[in-house]
């Protein structure tokens, strides 16, 4: 059985930690899965997992509407993961 891991980082797409980041996270994962399905021709014969995601905590830099911080990292974890 093959294993595919996809990384999804809404922060690096400059999304606000609210619903925009959650939607971007799931969209990224769905696009990755769709790409794998296009390449393999099926959703059978492999496992698909989220390899990595996250949000920078205090001390990180802001990126567009994405604001680093412990409270935002907690919110992202609770809503998106």
The ranges assigned to domains in the chain are 2-80
Does the structure show a pLDDT above 90 at 20? no
The model carries a pTM of 0.81
**What is the chain's mean pLDDT, rounded?**
92
Nearest CA-CA partner of 68 in 53, 76, 58, 77:
58
* 5 φ/ψ sector (left φ>0, alpha ψ -120 to 50, else beta): beta
Q: Which two tokens stand for residue 60?
A: 């990180």
Does the structure show a pLDDT above 80 at 81? no
**Residue 5, pLDDT score:** 95
The Cα–Cα gap between 42 and 58 comes to 42
The Cα–Cα gap between 73 and 78 comes to 9
């Amino acid at each position: 059985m093959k294993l595919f891991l996809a990384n999804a980082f809404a922060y690096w797409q400059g999304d606000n930690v609210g619903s925009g980041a959650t939607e971007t996270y799931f969209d990224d994962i769905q696009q990755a899965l769709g790409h794998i399905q296009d390449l393999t021709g099926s959703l059978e014969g492999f496992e698909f997992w989220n390899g990595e995601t996250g949000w920078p905590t205090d001390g990180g830099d802001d990126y567009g509407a994405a604001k680093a911080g412990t409270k935002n990292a907690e919110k992202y974890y609770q809503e998106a993961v």
